[in-house]
Structure 1
């Protein structure tokens, strides 16, 4: 059931990208982002998103890393049903450090973040059950929920995402993209 990166579709194809084995490596274009209205007043939909379309409940897991160095550099996973309904979850460079970051957009964007003390690649799992989405940070010690939110039912697109709102040239690597249909409905 898990598609290969080469079979997925781009929303805003980056200037440089390649598939090496089971890894996707991309370099962002200039000043790319996904954000809608809140606080900053911006309406941005220029970030890079490689997606697979789904209609049913699923869990997706993805490991990623990037050369984060400029404010708001980010890489992670995105779930999208349209330009005003999407979630991006990943690592974002802010206040001089990497943070786990989740933006949920349902007409307007919200943003939550938590410190990330470990260096190196990060793995996230996003699970969708009908009108709910659970986002977890996965480590060797298990999985910790970082967000539970509502999300419209129906067709969605899911896959890797990267943005660099203050520059171009962020290089991100994505590995271990796995998709599980009909995941168990468990919170704890």
Structure 2
């Protein structure tokens, strides 16, 4: 029920209850409990009418959405047929109200040389491995290698493919204690790969 109708109906019900408990003093008054009951019934009838209208409106809105979706499919079909019939004849497509579709330029291969960063994970087990975001990258390729001498950061070992991810950071838990681990990264997309970064290393 609508809030303002509910509020006045409840007031009338309480007033009617009081009148019925004090019949003697209300006998000679111009307003009777029956009048209040009639008003309450009128409120409830009107609320039922409003509810019926709301339900009908909900149904009509649903039908309108379905009609819109169906009509949009028809418009798409006609537009695609017109494009097939007239190809790139822009002047003809304008007659249908069709704007020439722009072909998205292919994303260039990444050229940015990334900088890998290594940090100890918060639990002391493994490294947080990260790099900066490259706007031309669809994903990032990482290589990893284990150094022969933990004390020598310049003795870069053979680096092998380790991880391909769309994220710019991840946690590597496969880190033995007291060993120098090397990483490098490059950005990549379907049109090519960027250059490999400099290798960085860390000992845990």
Q: Same fold (TM over 0.5)?
A: no
If the length of structure 2 is used for normalisation, what is the TM-score?
A: 0.21
Question: Which structure has the highest strand share of the two?
Answer: 1
Question: Which structure has the highest helix share of the two?
Answer: 2
If the length of structure 1 is used for normalisation, what is the TM-score?
A: 0.23
